[in-house]
Structure 1
């Protein structure tokens, strides 16, 4: 079963696809204070939950979503139609690192998708290339170490010691890349638990409802993810979403 399809089923009850609540998602987008007729880009948009909500908040904005997920785009189109923003949303089936948008954007998002560029710093470099000079904003969601993990935990998580910094170090990395932090949200333990229980539980339910090879693969993925979370990064890995402006 393809990883994109597993992710699609796992996020069915939590389409934000990050440990961020609905309220905090809208607060982050509202604090962007976008200008009239803003252009918005999401690199690694999945089902475009962030873009659909942004278009609802900014009724004269337009948005481009970039991803490789056909199933995610189907969900994005359905939700955009339900919210009445389909005419202002364009979806591009292409690697995030290969996308060229032509005109600059007022807001560029990459939340929980920095792996598409190889980490936070390459992501910030890529984002800068899409931003409107001076006034453009970036909304970037990234992991950080709540407390230093042991070598055993790093090995289980498949991470390198310097792959993430602590929270202060993560902000410093962004600012050293030429951005100023104008707002941010640090995901709470409750948001993390809601996200992870939803991810693993929703995928488990789908697997039990679909016996056969796909169901077995989905159930194995749910259990592997849950074990990695509960026995690995829970309490060690945090998540921060930073609203950044070029400095």
Structure 2
């Protein structure tokens, strides 16, 4: 079972691949979409859940998503068909960090996908390339709630605390106009859904050759969360506008 398959099963009960509940997603989209007929781009869209919710909420909105995963894009197409928004959705199988589009977008999203660009600031640099005048970026990134252990830092990478993260963003030429810091309830709900959905798939498919690996992955992830990073990891979604230009 590869990483993509593990992620698909792990997110079965939490299609937003980030520690956000439905109300938080709705409020971020309300603040992020600047007008009813906006163009929206999701860099690293996965199964397209952010775009599907934006399209459903705004009947005149048009959306595009970019992801390397063929199976995730297939899921997004099928979900768009069921929701009746497929005619307003365009999906591209491509590397989001190298994607080019023939037009600009009013909102560019990249939530929980900064690793695909090499970090937060490279993600913002890529988003800036697609942004229309007056547009906004909605980006989601992890941060340290407190000093991490060496094990946590090695596991989750080069993060900063929240004030330092914002300092870096502002110094890079962005102004935060809204944000959401995931609550403890959102963080825990996401991790329980991730580990529980994956473990449940394994238990429901005992004859599948991938079942033991899936169960082991769920157990390992749960142990890492509870024993290594639960008390030090936070997640913030920022709505940003270019400070100038």
Q: Given that residues 5 and 71 in structure 1 are in contact (C-alpha distance below 8 angstroms), is that contact kept between their aligned partners in structure 2?
A: no
**1-structure distance, mates of 2:84, 2:156:** 41
The 2-side partners of 1:46 and 1:153 are apart by: 26
Is 2:228 the counterpart of 1:229?
no
> After the TM superposition, which of the residue ranges 62-71 and 21-30 deviates more from structure 2?
62-71
Partner of 1:139: 138
Q: Given the two structures, how large is their TM-score scaled by the length of structure 1?
A: 0.94
Counterparts of 1:152 and 1:182, CA distance in 2: 34
SS in 2 for 1:126: helix
Provide Cα deviations, 1:52-111, integer angstroms capped at 9, x if missing partner. 011112211111111122222232123212222111111111111121111010000000
Is 1:62–1:89's contact at 8 Å kept on the other side of the alignment? Answer: yes
User: What corresponds to 1:107 in structure 2?
Assistant: 107
> Where does 1:18-37 land on structure 2 (aligned, <5 Å)?
18-37=18-37
Does 2:180 match 1:181? no
Match of 1:201 among 196, 199, 222: 196
Looking at structure 1, the residues matched to 214 and 33 of structure 2 have their Cα atoms a distance apart, in angstroms, of 40
Hey, what's the Cα distance between the residues in 2 that align with 1:83 and 1:152? 43
Instruction: Please give the alpha-carbon distance, in whole angstroms, between the structure 2 residues aligned to 1:197 and 1:177.
Output: 35
Give, in whole Å, the separation in 1 of the partners of 2:172 and 2:87: 35
Q: Which runs of 5+ in 2 are unaligned?
A: none
Return the offset for 1:118.
Answer: 0.3
- Moved >6 Å (runs of 4+): none
Aligned residues: 242
Q: Which residue of 1 aligns with 2:40?
A: 40
User: What is the CA–CA distance in structure 2 between the aligned matches of 1:47 and 1:8, rounded to whole Å?
Assistant: 9
SS in structure 2 at match of 1:132: strand
Aligned counterparts, 1:72-221, within 5 A: 72-133=72-133, 135-155=134-154, 157=155, 159=157, 163-211=158-206, 212-221=208-217
CA contact (8 A) 1:200 1:223 kept: yes
Asked whether 1:244 is paired with 2:243, we answer no
Q: Does 1:69 align with 2:65?
A: no
Q: Measure, in 2, the Cα distance between the counterparts of 1:65 and 1:165.
A: 28
| Unmatched tracts of structure 1, length 5 or more | none
Matched residue SS, 2:132: coil
Can you list the C-alpha shifts for 1:9-55, whole angstroms capped at 9, x where unaligned?
11011001100000010000001242242111001111111010111
Change (3 A) 1:181 1:158: closer
1:49 aligns with 49
